[in-house]
Amino acid sequence: MVEIGDRWHRGKLSITREHYATAYLMQRLAVLMRSSPNSNKGALIWVGCAPSEHHEIGAILLTLYFAPCGLSKCVFIGKDLLKEDFCARGARATASAVLFECQYPRNGL
C-alpha cells in the first residue's frame, strides 16, 4: 500500500486504481476479521482511528495482531472517532485498553 500511495502521489497511478487496491485489501481484511479466533475472555481492547483519520488499515491490522493471542477480546470500532466519546464508551464497556491509530500529527490527540 505504501508503494501504491507513492505512485499515486507521483502521478504514476490514478486515484481509481489506488481506491481499487484499498477496497481489495479491505475486503480481504474483513474476511480475516470475521474468521479471527478472537477470545471472549480476558481483557477487552478497543481499537479505533483518531479524529479526521480515514485510513483504518493500520488499526485493523493491530486488531488482527491481538486476536490470535487468546488473551483478550480485541474489537475494531471504526475510523474518524472523537477521542472523548471513544474513551468514555470504552470505559462504559469496561475496556482494559483503548488504542487510537493516528498517522498524521495534525490528527493528533
| Cβ pair 35, 93 in contact under 8 A | no
Which residues are CB-contacts of 5 (< 8 A; sequence separation ≥ 6)?
18
pLDDT at 5: 86
CB 101 within 8 A of CB 49: yes
Mean pLDDT, rounded, for 51-63: 89
Mean pLDDT calculated for residue range 86-102: 89
In the chain, where are the structural domains located? 1-35, 38-109
Fold of 38-109: Rossmann fold (3.40.50)
